[in-house]
Structure formats: structure tokens, C-alpha cells
Chains A and B, each alone.
Chain A
Amino acid sequence: MWRPPMSTELRRRLRAAMDGCRRIVGMPNYRVFVDHCREHHPDRPVPTEREYFEEYLRARYESGPTRCC
């Protein structure tokens, strides 16, 4: 994919801002999850992004109220 020319510092900041946006709307971060899996469960296969997303949605909307009035 085409990537706009940016310094690594700018790219890092942009990525952090996007991660923040995602968190605020209640979306998890797949990269963080992959890091977590590699670090803590190196013996198990890492779920794909799609599997992770599905599992997350299930947990989020089937657990109780996530939104207020």
C-alpha cells in the first residue's frame, strides 16, 4: 500500500493518536494484543485479526450495558 512520506516520529505520533481514537469509541487494539500473546503465551498460536475482532464484539455487546442514557 502507498504510504505518505513522513518522519518516523510523526508516524509514531499519528499512530498513537489513531489508537487513542479507537480506544475512545471502545475498539480494542490488535497490535497490542499480538504483543501480549507473544510475550505471555508464546506456546499458543496468535488469533488472526478477524478472529480477535469477532471475539471482542461478542464480549462487548453480550456482557451488559455499555452505553448510558
Chain B
Amino acid sequence: MRTLIWVAVALVGATAWGALALHQGETINAAWLVLAAVGTYLVAYRYYSLFLARKVFGLDPRRATPAERLNNGRDFVPTTRWVLFGHHFAAIAGAGPLVGPVLAAQFGYLPGVLWIVFGVVLGGAVQDFIILFSSMRRDGKSLGQMAKEEIGETTGLIAMVAILAIMVILLAVLALVVVNALRDSPWGVFTILCTIPIAILMGFWMKVWRPGKTVEASVIGILLLMLALVSGSWVAESATLAPLFRYDGVTVAWGIIGYGFIASVLPVWMLLCPRDYLSTFLKVGTILLLAVGILIVMPPLKLPALTQFIDGTGPIFAGKLFPFVFITIACGSISGFHALVSSGTTPKMIRSEGDARLIGYGGMLTESFVAVMALCAAAALDPGVYFAINAPLATLGGTVESAAAVVRQWGFTVTPEQMQGLAASVGEATLLARTGGATSLAVGMAAIFSGVFGEHLMAFWYHFAIMFEALFILTTVDTGTRVGRFMLQELGGYLWKPMARTSWYPSIILSSALIVAGWGWFLIQGVLDPLGGINSLWPLFGISNQLLAAVALCVGTTILIKSGKVRYAWTTLLPLVWLLAVTMTAGWQKIFATDPRLGFLSHAEQLAGQIASGALAAGDGGRMIFNDRGNAGLAGVFMAITVVLLIASVREWLAVIQGRKPATTREAEYVETAYVN
């Protein structure tokens, strides 16, 4: 009977994939995409994750977890599995799975959905699961510590520098996404500004007035947030107030930079922690709402399965389908950043070893489903509208008329009236060239929610979606800046001891300023970039995130080989080899490609030519050339780090396989659990 049910699930999934494959060239309903994804997830969870849990890792429910053995009521706390699943999911799902798929929709919906679904099943979920498992068996050690212990001393240090570099790029690119959604938008800016006093109020509530009452403070916070959202529309309509909140991109960027610095220096309870709670509640709630919305509305996908841009001529980002779809969509299929969370708070809270399967593998499948929904929301837009929102200003020209003409050349239809009408319906002056994916996702989400609740609320839902994205991106910006600051202080401690004192103010100010300056520099350059910045920064972010995933898979493979499971090492080697092929090809092309749209160095050369011929001012051109060379250097550093780590890992593997080194790992001692499950 059970087998029959699973056969049925597999058949439904296969039929849905078949429908996707056969409907090339006609419009297809989003329901097929959702069915195909869910069918695949269920089968993969039932069979592949069970194989990993039983044969490869040997999860043992009789073995006491760190949460049980080291229970301190603080970070080591045994937690019910569904609650921990929620906690883990809230920690791994951020803007990444929402933005990446929207950008990758430039190739059509099919490449994106294939990579999201099969990438997660064979790669991303395996990575999250093995790192969670390994950390759980090692008393909750971090990825860096495990790299140091299992592969070698220097590897740990390199991993730390890599994490810091990735953080800087990540913060810059996410902040850029917010800037592009908030520039020239009084409604958006007003709502987001309001979140700061709301968070401070919540902070005082939880710390001073009613200590520890998180849920209470969050409910108040969410109510005030809704109030801010509604009053935003009054601000936008008022002739006197609107100009006070209308800023260009550079000003918004400086605002975010200043905010990041202040949030990193202030005590956490005042601003950072309450924002974190607020955005977590909002995130989980909105994602559930979006899932329900898509199931009710079942929008047809207007975007073609494949567009002509698979040849590398796409306006949103340059580069061919291979390798760039695999770089653009990182979170949602495989994300190295998850390895940091899976080796952070979660492994210290697992109650029983068997739960790691649901939390590690299942949690990542859920995030992948979020990516599929984001893709549906973007693909449900008119392709003409999608490209008019996401293509850079330099390509579209400054007016709706020029934009409509450019989009028509690409073979999609959009009229100037359509773009103006859409902008007016969401309460904005213009939606043109808002690169970064946030705006087109918000339009898509607003269309879906309006389909459920009625058309007249379109503007409200659009700004709700913008607020939802901006709120948790800014939460990533402030927590990220703070974490970066601590890592920098630790690294600085190697040079000069007092730098490592995390509560010493000169050190706090200096290291915060350095981190903020790092991502702030990339952010400002991105805002000034006539091609929109996303074009160069998002691939760099993708490459660095996939690089971190490669590090995690190297650690995972090493642990498998050292625990005498060489015959199962293919489970991590397979995604590792794929990621190396993807990141190395993409990195190489970004640096050396002769097409100036794709290669950083050839773009710099093109600019130099323009300066020589007088077509470009020397000051601006010089700055852009410097950026190109800097980006090329950074991509080179990422590639070099990967190669060094790979060589160190392979040497370790060979030593163990050839018997020159004992096959032992640093697992904690076996203790039998006292729980009766």
C-alpha cells in the first residue's frame, strides 16, 4: 500500500515534468511547475535522504546529541523537531532564493526550475545535511573549525578569509537590490525609515519594560509596521511630504551605509535583535501567504520556457546558459552560506539524531520551494514588463517610449501606456530599470495577492512586498556587518593583540568602519554603474557563494573518507565536481572573456579606448576601469582559494585511501541517549 502511494507520487511528478517538456511554445499553468517540484521533493526526501541517513551517515537515534549531553538551557537546548525545522528554515531562507530565480528568468523559466529542483535534491540539500550531521557529531563545531581539524591548519585560516570576502560581496549586492527598489519611491523610503523607531521601541519593550517577552513585542511591532505601510500611501500622495522622502540611488545607498555602521556599533538589544525577530515573523508569514496565493490563483506562466538570451546576449546579466544559470541561482539549489548556519545554532538544538534528516535535508527542500515560487511569480508577469523592469537604464533609455521600443526589438510586447499604468497602479512614478529583481518580484507577488484579495489593493501589496524584502535584506546587512566586524577583530588580533578585544571601543569602531567601507564601496560603485551594478556584482556573489559550497563539500567528502565510507563519497563528490566546473568556468569567463559585456578586463580595455577617443570623461572612465580591474582581481582570488583548498583536500583524501594516514575523524565519544523516544 505504502509503495503504491509512492509510485503515485512519482507518477504525478513525472507527468508534471512531461507536461512542462511538451508545452514548449505555449503558455502553461504555474500549477505544473509546482507539481513537478513537489513530486520530485517528496520522492527525493523519501528515498535519497533515507539512503543518506541510514547508509551514508548512519544516523543513530540511540546516540545522545550535543543538545542532550551539553544541555545548558542557553544555546545547547534539545528542541522539538518541527519547531527546530521552523527555526532552521527561518535562518537559511533570505533574499537569495527570491532574487536569484527572478534574475535567471531572463533565460526563460525552464533552465531555472530544472536547476533549482535537481540541484537541491542532489547538491544543496546533501550539503546542508552532511554539514549539519558532521557538526552535530562534533559538539556543534563551526565549518571553519571542522575544516581546520579535518583538512589542515592553513585551510581553516583560508576558509575564514574566504567567508569574510563573501560577506562583503553579499552585503553589497543585497543592499544594491534594496537601493534599486527604494530610489525615487517616497512610499517605500517612508515605510522602511519607520521600521527603525519601531525596532527601537520593541528593543526597549523586550529589554527594559518586559524582559524576554518576544512574541508580545513582535505582535506590537507587526501592527505598527502595517500602520507605517498604510500611512506610506498618504505620504506618497501628499504634495508637501512626498518630496521629503524622495531620494536618488546614491543618497539611499549612503543612508544604508550609515545605518549599517550604527547598527553594528549599537548594543544588539536596541536595534538589531528586534529587527531580526520582526523580519523573521514577517518572512515566514509572507512565504506561507505566497504559497497559498499561488495555489489559489494558479497563474499562467507568460514567460517562454526558453528565451533567445540563452546565447549570452541577455540584458539583465551577460553570459551563456552554462555556466551562468548555475551562478545566478545559488540559494534555492545550493548555497554555501547554509553551511555556516548548519554548523552554527541548529546542530546544538537537535534532540534526536534522526531529526537531522528532516531539518537538514527537508529544510533545504523547503527553501528550494520558495525559489520555485519566486520563479512562478516572475514568470507570471508579461515578459515585456519583466524585461522593462529588470533591464538596465543604459539599455532601455530614459523614457517609457524608448523602453517599449527596445523591448519590442527583443521580440516581446509592452506599450508605454502599460508601463505607466502599472507604475500608477502600484503607487510609483516609474518602474523602469529597477534592476536587482526585488521590484519585479514585488509586482508579481502583488498581482498574485490581488488575485486573491481583489484588484484595488494592488499598491498596498506591492509596497508590502517591497517592505518585506527590504526589511529582511537590511536585517542581513546589519547582522552581516556585525559578524564581519567580529571576524575582522579576530583576524586583526593576529596582527595586534588589543584588536581582538570585542568590547574595546576603538577596535569596534575601526573594524566596523572597515567592513562598512568594504561593502559600501562596492555598493556605491554598483549604484553609479550605468549598467545597473547587478550585472557585475550578482555573478561575483554567485561565484563566491558556490565557492563556499565547494569548501563545505570538501569538508564533507573528507569526513566521509576518514570515517571509512569511501564507497559513498560520490554523494558529495558529484555536486562538488559540478560546482567546480561551474565556478571555474564562470570565474574564467568573467575575467578573460573577449566580449566586453561579459569579461571585466575586456570591458576595461573598451573603456580605455573610449577615453582615448574622447567619448568618455577621463575621471568617470578611470573609476570604472579601476572597478573592472578590482572585480577581476576578486574573481581571481576566489578561484585561487578554491584551487588551494581543493589541493589540500585531495592530498588528505589520497593519504587516507592509500593508508598513509589513519582513517579517523574527530567525532565526539558515543554516549547512549537517556531519552525514551
Contacts and interface: CB of A to CB of B under 8 A. Distances in A.
Nearest to B278: A25
B87 A68 contact: no
B214 A25 contact: yes
Interface in A38-67: 40, 49-50, 52-67
A68 B284 contact: no
Contact of A69 (B95, B212, B215, B269): B95
B87 A36 contact: no
Contacts of A20: 80, 82-83, 86
A27 B94 CA distance: 19
Interface residues of A, number: 40
Interface in B114-146: 142
Contact of A65 (B218, B330, B475, B480): B480
Q: How large is the interface on B (under 10, 10 to 19, 20 to 34, 35 or more residues)?
A: 35 or more
Nearest to B171: A69
A33 B86 contact: no
A42 B341 CA distance: 34
Given A36-B71, A57-B268, A62 B214 contact: no
A60 B273 CA distance: 10
A65 B159 CA distance: 14
B93 A61 contact: no
Nearest to B163: A65
A67 B87 contact: no
A66 B93 contact: no
B340 interface: yes
Centre residue among A24, A28, A52 by max chain B CB count within 10 A: A24
B338 A68 contact: yes
A59 B91 contact: no
Contact of B84 (A19, A23, A28, A52): A23
A66 B347 CA distance: 12
B518 interface: no
Given A32-B77, A59-B75, A61-B482, A67 B214 contact: no
A22 B323 CA distance: 41
Contacts of A68: 91-94, 96, 331, 335, 337-338, 340-341, 476
Contacts of A60: 75, 268, 345
A4 interface: no
A22 B486 CA distance: 26
11 contacts: A18-B215, A19-B83, A21-B215, A24-B280, A25-B214, A26-B276, A26-B280, A34-B73, A61-B268, A64-B340, A66-B341
Interface of B: 71-75, 77, 79-80, 82-84, 86-87, 90-96, 142, 163, 167, 170, 174, 206-207, 211-212, 214-215, 218, 268-269, 272-273, 276-277, 280-281, 284, 330-331, 335, 337-338, 340-341, 344-345, 475-476, 479-480, 482-483, 486, 502, 541, 545
5 smallest A-B Cβ distances: which pairs? A33-B73, A36-B73, A69-B96, A24-B86, A25-B280
Given A28-B73, A54-B269, A65-B483, 4 more contacts: A26-B90, A26-B280, A27-B277, A68-B476
